[in-house]
Structure 1
Amino acid sequence: MSVRQDRPREAFSVGPERSLDNTPDHDPVGDGLRQAARRMVGIGVFSGVINIMMLSGSVYMMQVYDRVIPSRNLATLFGLTLMVLLAYLIQGYFDALRARMLCRVATIFDAGLQHSIHNALATLPLRGAKPMLMQQPLRDLDQLRGFMSSMGPTAFLDMPWIPIFLIGLFLFHPLIGLTALAGMIAIVAVTLAIERLSRGSVKTATETMAMRQVIADATQRNAEVLRALGMMDRFSQRWQQVNERYLRENLRATDLTSNLGSGAKVLRFVLQSGMLGMGAYLVVSEQASGGVMMASSILMGRALAPVEVALSSWKQLVAARQGIARLRDICRATAKPPAPPIALPRPYRELSVQELSVVAPGTNRPIVSNISFALKAGTGLALLGASASGKTSLSKALVGIWPAQHGVVRLDGAALDQWPNQELGRHIGYLPQDVALFDGTVAENIARFDQDATSDSILKAARIAGVHDLILRLPEGYSTRIGQGGMSLSAGQRQRVGLARAIFGDPFLVVLDEPNANLDADGENALSQAIAMMRKNQSIVVVISHRPSALAALNMAMVLYDGKAIAFGTTQEVFARVAGQKLQAPPAQQAVAGPNPNNNGNNNNSNRPPNNNRPPRRAALAEKV
C-alpha cells in the first residue's frame, strides 16, 4: 500500500518571486509587501480610470444647470444623460475589477508567506514562547490579508487624485479652492489625531484577544479533564475575566475611532455645506454660475471620499501595521538557517555527545549539565534515573528538538545542525511520551506523511514494530483514519503506531521515551523484539523507561541524577553498582567514552566516573532506578 497521492493543484503560485534566502537579514514580509506594492501599480491605473469617471457627475450637473435649463433643449439633456450613464457603467466595472484584483493580491501575499508562517508556528513552541504568542503570526497574517483585500487600500490609491480635484476647484474660483484646502487640512489633522490616540488601544485589544484565544484552545484540548475534575466553573471564570478585558479594550478602541470618525464626518458635512454657501455667494455676486456651485459641491465630496474611506477603516489599518511589525520580528527570529553547501552522507558509525548542557526553552537553568559519552552503531542504551533527573531533556537534545546551551551532539563526527531538518529527520526515529499522532490514515502516520513512501517501507516498519497484525484488525486496515491525535485508537495502539513511525525509513538513531508506558505483555514483547531488530540493523537505540522489560534488549546503560551522569557502562555493571548502592557523582568536567558494545561487559574500569562527590540520598536513588 502506498501513501502516494496526487498533489492538490495550487490556486496561486508565487513563482520565481518567492525567495529561498534564509539568511538572518532576510525579510520575507518586506519582500511580500514590495511584491504587493508592484502589483498595486496596475491597480492604481484602474483607480485612475475610476477617478476620471467620478468627474462625470460634476460635469453632468454643470452642463444641466448652465446649458440645458437656460436653453430648454431636451435633446441635449437626453444626450448628456446617456453619456453620464455610460460613464457610470464604466466606473462600476472598473470598481468591481479593482476589488477583485485587491483580493488576489492579498491572497498571493498570504501564499508567499505560508512557508515562513508555518515554520514560525512550528518553531515558537521550541523557543519557549508564551502561549498567547504561538498563534499570533497566523492571526496577524489573517488580519493583514483581510485589510489588503478590503476597501482600505483604495483610499491610498485614490489619494493621489485629491490634488487634481483641488486644482479643479481652484479653476472654478480661488475662494472655492481655498475653502476646500482649509477643510482638507482640518480633516488631515483629525486623521493624525486618530492615529496617535488609537495606536495603544488597538494594540492592547489585539493582545487580550490573543489571551482569550489561548484559554479557548486550552479548554477545547482539555475538555475531558475539565469535566471529570469539576474545573468547568473555574475555567469559566478565567475565561470571563479575560473576555471582559478584551471587550473593554475593544470597546475603548472602537469608541475612540468612532468619536473621532464622527467628528471628521461632521467636519466633512460642514465643509460641503460651506462649499454650497460659498458657491451661492459667488452666484449672487455674479462671480460664478449655478452649475459651478453644484459641481464644486459634488467635486468636493469626491475629493473627500478617500479620506472618509481611510477613517472608516482606520482601526483595521492600525492593526495591520502592528501585525506587519510583529510578523517581521517573528519571521526573522524563526528563519531557518542556511542550507549546508554539502549534502552529508547517511551516518553509520557512531553517536558522540561532548560536554552537553541543555536548558528548557525560555529558561536559563541547565537541566542537563556536562554530559559526554559515545555509542557505536548497533548499541542499545538504557537511559535511567529518577523523575526530573533530565532524561527527557537529554533525549530531546539528542534528536535536535532542544538546542544545546553548551557542547554538541554529533553523528559520525558531524554536528546535528550540519544537516537540514528534513534530511536529519530521515536519520532519526523519535517516540515521545506524548505520541502525537496526526489526523490521517494509519499508513500516512507511519510514513511520516511522506507522499513518496512505498508500501514495502511502511509494511517493513510496521512488522519490525510488531503492529502489522494489530493494524489489519482495524476497520479499514492501513487506510483507517485515526482522527486528530489518534483519538480513534487506544493509548496502547497509539504508542505502537508511534513506534512504527519512529522505525520508518531505518533511521540510524532511534530515541524512545517511555515506549512501554501503555503496553500490555504482547506489546512489551513486540517492543523488545523491535529493539533487538533495530540493533541488528546497526541502528543506535536509546530507551527511557522505568519498566525493566524494555531494557532487556539493551547492552549499555546511563544513570542520570540531577542532570548529571553518575554511571555509564554496560547494563550488567551499572545494575550491579545500583544494586550495591555504589553510585557516585561525576566530577565537574567529565569525558566518558562508550565501550565497545560487543565486548560483553569486559571493558576496563577507565570509563567509570571517579569515586568522589557522593550524591545525597543514594539509597533512595538506587531504589527508584
Structure 2
Amino acid sequence: MKDRRPSLRFGPRSFLATAADDPVSRALRESARRMTGIAVFSGVINLLMLSGSLYMLQVYDRVLPSRNLATLFGLSLIVLLAYAMLGYFEALRTRMLCRVATLFDVGLQEAIHNALVTLPLRGTKPAAMQQPSRDLEQLRAFMSSMGPTAFLDMPWIPIFLLGLFLFHPVIGMTALLGTISIVAVTVVTERLSRGVAKAATESSAERQVLVDSIQRNAEVIRALGMTDRFKVRWLQSNEQHLRENMRAADLFANLGSVAKVLRYVLQSGMLGVGAYLVVTDSASGGIMIASSIMMGRALAPVEVALSSWKQLVAARQGIARLREICKVTARAPVPAVDLARPCRELVVQQLTVAAPASDTHIVSSVSFSLKAGMGLVLLGASASGKTSLSKALVGIWPARSGTVRLDGAAIDQWRSEDLGRHIGYLPQDVALFDGTIAENICRFDEYATSEAIIKAAQIAGVHDLVLRLPKGYSTQIGQGGMSLSAGQRQRIGLARAVYGDPFLIVLDEPNANLDTDGENALSRAILILRQNKSIVIVISHRPSVIAALDMALVLYEGKSIAFGSCKEIFARVGASRTQGAPRNQARPKANPAPHYAAVPEGA
C-alpha cells in the first residue's frame, strides 16, 4: 500500500512546497487549481488599471494642446466604462476568493475533527489541542482577504515596469531601483517576523487554555475561595499575551511605515524625474503624470502584501502545524475485511501500558483471558493501574507491547467505529453531551430505534427514572448533563455503555455515585449482560457489585499478582490476612505490600 504519510518539509516561501499527499497539501492543490481562474480575472483587473495612466497621458498630450472637448468627452466615457468593469471584476474576484477559502475549510474538516478527537489521547498539551481549529480559521480568513490578491497581482509588476521603460529609460530605472528597495524591505519583514508571530500565537493559545479552565471549573473556584488567585494568573497570562502582540504590532508597524515612506519617496521622485525630463524636452507632461500613476499601481501589490504580512506569517505557520498534526493523527488504513461481531472470548497477552507522551509503564506484562458470559472485577489499591488497563482494553490508550484480542483478532484490526459498536465503556467521568437523554443513550446514532434505546435503558434499570422526568427521553440534559444529578448521569452512562448489545463492557467505578437502588440496578444489569453472553469487566470495591461477577484480577504497582475465580481469590486473601495478622502486630512494616490490594471486607 502506498505510504500517504505527509512530509514535514515546508518551504518558507511557498504554501505549496511539498511532495506529500497529506490532507493539507491536497486541499492547497485544489485551492491553487481554483486560483487559476481567479488569476485570469486578476490579469483583466491589472490591464484595466492601466486605463487611468493612459487617460492622463492622452489628456495632457492630446486634449490640452488641441483644446478638443469632443476628444475629452470620448476619453472620459471610455475611462468611466473601464472603471465600471474594474469594479465588477474586483467584486467578482473577492467573492471567488471567499468561496475558494470556504471550500478549503470544508475539505479539511474531516482531518481537523479527527485531530480534535485524537490529540487528547496522545498526551498533547492543552494549549495545542484547540490549535488545529484556530489554524484553519486563520487560513480561511487569510485566503478570503486581500492578502492573496497581492500575490496574484505581483506577476504584473514587470509589465508595469516595462511600460515605464517604454516611457523613458531613466523613468524605468528609477522605478526598478525603487521596486528593489521595497522588495528588500519585504525580505527583512519576512526574516524578522517569524519569531514574534510564533510567540504571539503561542501566548494566545495559552491564554485561551486558561480561559477554558476557569470557565469549566468556575464552581470550584468560587466555592474554594480561589477567585483572586486565578485572577492573578489570568492577569499574568493576559499581560504576556499583550506583550507579545505589542512586539509583533510594533515590528509590523515599523516595517510597514518604512515601506510606505519608500513608496511616497518613489512616487514623488518619479514626478521629479518626469519634471526634469519635461524641462529638458526628453518627455511630455503626460508621461510625467502617467508614469507616477503607473508606478503607484506597480507598487500596490507589494504594499498590500506588507499590510497583510502578519496574517500571512500566521497562515504559513498554521499550515506547518496542520501538516504536523495531520501526520500524528492520521487515521489507520481501513481494514481490507470487515470482521464479524466478536462472540467467543477476550484474550490479553503480556499487555504493557503507558500514559500518552510518557515512557513510564503503568501496567506491565498483564495476561488473562475471559470467555463469553464471564464477569471480571479489577482490584487493587489506588494508582495500581486499574483505570489504565481499562483504557487499553477498549482501545483508548495504545499498548506499548502485548495485544488485546477479541475472538483472536487484535482490536486494532477493526475500524474505530466498528469496534465501538462491540464495546461498552463507562469511565469514572461519565461525560454526557448536550442533547436529549435518548440521544446520549444511543450514542447519537441517527439510525437508532426506539426499541434499542428502551432496551438499553431497561437493562441499566434507568427506564422508570427517565419516564419520571418532565419530558421523558426527550429531556434536554445540558452540557455535561448539568441538569441531572451525579447518580442519574452515572445510570444514563451505564445505559449508553450497554446500548447495542456490545460484546465487551468495561465499567470504571460505575457505582461511585449510586444509592442502594442504583447499586441493585447495576448488579441486575451485570447479570443480564452476562446471560446475554457479554464479557463484563468492572473496577469496584463494593461487595454488592462484585457478587455479580465470577472472576477477579488483582493489580499491584501495575503487575498482575492474582487472577482466578472470585471464590478462589477471596479465599487466598482471607488466608493471607489470617496468617499475616500476628506478624504485622508484632513487627509492623514501613511499607507493607497489600494483601491483594483492597479487596472489600465481607466479599
* TM-score, length-scaled by structure 1: 0.90
8 Å contact 2:554–2:596 — kept in the other structure?
no
Q: Deviation string for 1:559-604 (max 9, x for gaps)?
A: 11111111111111111222222699xxxxxxxxxxxxxxxxxxxx
1:521 matched to 2:516? The reply is: yes
Counterpart CA distance in 2 for 1:143 and 1:580 is 66
Say yes or no: does 1:389 pair with 2:365.
no
The one-letter code of the counterpart of 2:195 is G
Aligned match of 1:368: 363
Distance (Å, rounded) in 2 between the aligned partners of 1:101 and 1:21: 35
2:246 alignment counterpart: 251
1:295, 1:494 → 2: CA distance?
75
Q: Aligned to 2:576, what secondary structure does the other structure show? A: coil
User: 2:36 aligns to what?
Assistant: 41
**Deviation at 1:351?**
0.2
8 Å contact kept, 2:380–2:599: no
Distance 1:105 1:547 in 2: 59
Taking structure 1 as reference, are residues 620 and 399 closer, same or farther at Cα in structure 2, changes over 3 Å only?
A: closer
- 1:80 is paired with a residue of what secondary structure? helix
- C-alpha contact 1:581 1:622 (8 A) present in aligned 2: no
Label 1:558 to 1:619 Cα distance change in 2 as closer, same or farther (>3 A): closer
Question: Which residue, out of 135, 139, 144, partners 2:130?
Answer: 135
- Structure 1 residue 620 displacement after superposition: 9.1
* Gap change, CA 1:464 and 1:144, over 3 Å in 2: same
- Corresponding residue SS for 1:368: strand
User: Which of 292, 298, 304 is residue 303 of structure 1 equivalent to?
Assistant: 298
8 Å Cα contact 2:31/2:100 also seen in 1:
yes
Hey, what does 2:588 align to over in structure 1?
A: none
- Relative distance call for 1:623 and 1:519 in structure 2 (3 A) is closer
Measure how far apart 1:67 and its partner are: 1.3
**Counterpart of 2:346 in 1: which secondary structure?**
strand
- Matching of residue 123 in structure 1 with residue 123 in structure 2: no
Q: Secondary structure at the match of 1:581?
A: helix
Q: 8 Å contact 1:378–1:534 — kept in the other structure? A: yes
Q: Matches of 1:196 and 1:567 in 2, distance apart?
A: 62
1:197 aligns with 192
Corresponding residue SS for 1:404? coil
The aligned residue for residue 5 of structure 2 is: 24
1:618 is aligned, of 578, 581, 594, to: 594
- Given candidates 54, 57, 66, the residue that maps to 2:61 is 66
- Alpha-carbon distance between aligned partners in 2 of 1:623 and 1:115, rounded to the nearest angstrom: 46
Q: In structure 1, what is the Cα distance between the partners aligned to 2:538 and 2:3?
A: 35
CA distance in 1, matches of 2:371, 2:578: 24
Distance 1:619 1:408, change over 3 A: closer
Corresponding residue to 2:45 among 25, 43, 50: 50
Which range moves more in the overlay, 142-151 or 22-31? 22-31
Q: Is the 8 A contact 1:385 1:624 kept in 2?
A: no
User: Partner residue of 1:211?
Assistant: 206
Q: Which residue of 2 aligns with 1:603?
A: none
Aligned equivalent of 1:406 = 401
AA at the equivalent of 1:136: Q
**Residue aligned with 2:338, SS:** coil
What is the alpha-carbon distance in structure 1 between the residues aligned to residue 281 and residue 598 of structure 2? 108
Q: Secondary structure at the match of 2:400?
A: strand
Deviation at 1:61, TM superposition (A): 0.8
- Counterpart CA distance in 1 for 2:361 and 2:600 is 23
C-alpha displacement of 1:24 = 2.7
Q: Distance in 2 between matches of 1:544 and 1:446?
A: 21
User: How many residues were matched structurally?
Assistant: 576
Q: 1:484: how far off?
A: 0.8
Change (3 A) 1:369 1:620: closer
AA of the residue aligned to 1:354: Q
Q: Is the 8 A contact 1:581 1:618 kept in 2?
A: no
Identity of aligned residues (%): 73
Determine if contact 1:359/1:404 at 8 Å carries over to the other structure: yes
Q: Is the 8 A contact 1:583 1:618 kept in 2?
A: no
- Asked if the contact 2:379/2:599 (under 8 Å) is kept, the reply is no
Cα distance in 2 between the residues matched to 1:260 and 1:176:
26
Deviation at 1:622, TM superposition (A): 4.7
Aligned to 1:427: 422
Measure, in 2, the Cα distance between the counterparts of 1:474 and 1:93: 59
Residues 73-127 of structure 1 deviation map (CA, whole Å, 9 limit, x = unaligned): 2222112111111111111111111111111111111111111111111111111
Q: Which amino acid aligns with 1:428?
A: I
Letter in 1 for 2:60: Y
Any idea what SS the aligned residue of 2:537 has? strand
How far the C-alpha of 1:546 sits from its partner, in A, is: 2.0
Pairwise CA RMSD of aligned residues?
1.6
Are residues 451 and 623 of structure 1, via their aligned partners in 2, closer, same or farther at CA, if it must alter by over 3 Å?
Answer: closer
In structure 1, C-alpha distance between the alignment counterparts of 2:277 and 2:523, rounded to whole Å: 99
CA deviations on 1:526-568 (whole Å, 9 max, x unpaired) are: 1111111100000000011122211111111111111111111
User: Which residue, out of 89, 107, 115, partners 1:112?
Assistant: 107
Alpha-carbon distance between aligned partners in 2 of 1:519 and 1:504, rounded to the nearest angstrom? 20
* Runs of 5+ consecutive residues of structure 2 not aligned to the other structure: 7-20, 580-590
Instruction: Supply the AA of the counterpart residue of 2:415.
Output: P
Task: Give the Cα separation in 2 of the matches to 1:389 and 1:164.
Answer: 73
User: 2 CA distance for matches of 1:128 and 1:23?
Assistant: 24
1:458 corresponding residue in structure 2: 453
- How far apart, CA to CA, are the structure 2 residues paired with 1:487 and 1:345? 38
Aligned partner of 2:473 in structure 1 is 478
Q: Distance in 1 between matches of 2:32 and 2:400?
A: 42
2 CA distance for matches of 1:477 and 1:137?
A: 38
Matched ranges for 1:173-572 at <5 A: 173-572=168-567
**Structure 1 runs, 4 residues or longer, greater than 6 Å off:** none
Question: How far apart are 1:54 and its partner, in Å?
Answer: 0.6
Q: Is there any run of 5+ residues in structure 1 with no aligned partner, and where? A: 1-19, 585-614
Cα distance, 1:263 vs. partner?
0.4
One-letter amino acid of the structure 1 residue matched with residue 469 of structure 2:
L
Kept after mapping to 1: 8 A contact 2:379/2:598: no
- Looking at structure 1, the residues matched to 555 and 598 of structure 2 have their Cα atoms a distance apart, in angstroms, of 11
Looking at structure 1, the residues matched to 555 and 577 of structure 2 have their Cα atoms a distance apart, in angstroms, of 14
Tell me, in whole angstroms, the C-alpha distance in 2 between the residues paired with 1:86 and 1:165. 21
Paired residues of 1:566 and 1:583 also in contact (CA < 8 A) = no
Residues 559-598 of structure 1 correspond to what in structure 2 (within 5 A)?
559-581=554-576
**SS of 1:108's equivalent?**
helix
User: 2:175·2:295 contact (CA, 8 Å) conserved in 1?
Assistant: yes
Which stretch has the larger CA shift, 422-431 or 232-241?
A: 232-241
Cα deviations by residue, 1:8-32 (Å, 9 ceiling, x for unpaired)? xxxxxxxxxxxx9984344110111
Deviation at 1:283, TM superposition (A): 0.7
Query: Which secondary structure does the structure 1 equivalent of 2:470 belong to?
Result: coil
Q: Contact 1:106/1:149 (CA < 8 Å) preserved in 2? A: yes
Distance (whole Å) between structure 1 residues aligned to residue 251 and residue 406 of structure 2: 59
Counterpart Cα distance in 2 of 1:35 and 1:564: 52
Q: Secondary structure at the match of 1:150?
A: coil
- Kindly indicate whether the alpha-carbon contact (under 8 Å) linking 2:436 and 2:473 is maintained by their aligned counterparts in 1: yes
Q: Do the aligned partners of 1:23 and 1:337 also contact (CA within 8 Å) in 2?
A: no
Preserved contact between residue 383 and residue 391 of structure 1 (Cα < 8 Å): yes
Contact 1:567-1:583 within 8 A present in 2 as well: no
Aligned to 1:580, what secondary structure does the other structure show? helix
For the 8 Å contact 1:143–1:323, the answer to whether it is kept is yes
Tell me the equivalent position of 2:141: 146
- CA contact under 8 A between 2:555 and 2:597: conserved in structure 1? no
